Amino acid sequence: MHDPAEPMFALGAYLDGRLAGIAHYLFHRTFWTAGDYCYLQDLFVAEGYRGKGIGAGLIAAVETAARKWGASRVHWLTREENAAARGLYDKLAERSGFIQYRKIF
């Protein structure tokens, strides 16, 4: 994140002068479109600030940055059991239908 050549960014949302939420996002190439994709890697809102529109605001700010970058989409993951986050995400975007597989080294 400290390398200016890397397309990685962070946002903070403040309420009443306190950091209430963060978003980390990055841009990456894809075979499928001319524009990059924007991956919203982390979205976190502190428990006492949830339900106040901060998460939606951070996602909107990432979308604005992605459009300015020329990206063709924003995408992110969440855990199936994260009902609170999914309630928000279902209002803001469509689920892709994909299931993630991974091998950790």
Residue 38 has pLDDT above 90, yes or no: yes
Identify the burial level of 50 via C-beta atoms within 10 angstroms of its C-beta, where 0-12 means exposed, 13-18 middle and 19 or more buried. Answer: middle
Chain segment 2-25, per-residue pLDDT in tens: 788 889 999 999 999 999 999 999
Chain segment 45-84, per-residue pLDDT in tens: 999 999 999 999 999 999 999 999 999 999 999 999 999 9
Please tell me the predicted confidence (pLDDT) of residue 2: 76
Q: Give the Cβ contact number of residue 54 at 10 Å.
A: 21
Output phi, psi for 45, to 5 deg: -125, 130
Q: Give the Cβ contact number of residue 66 at 10 Å.
A: 22
Amino acid identity for residue 9 in this structure: F
| Homologous superfamily of the 8-92 domain (CATH) | Gcn5-related N-acetyltransferase (GNAT) (3.40.630.30)
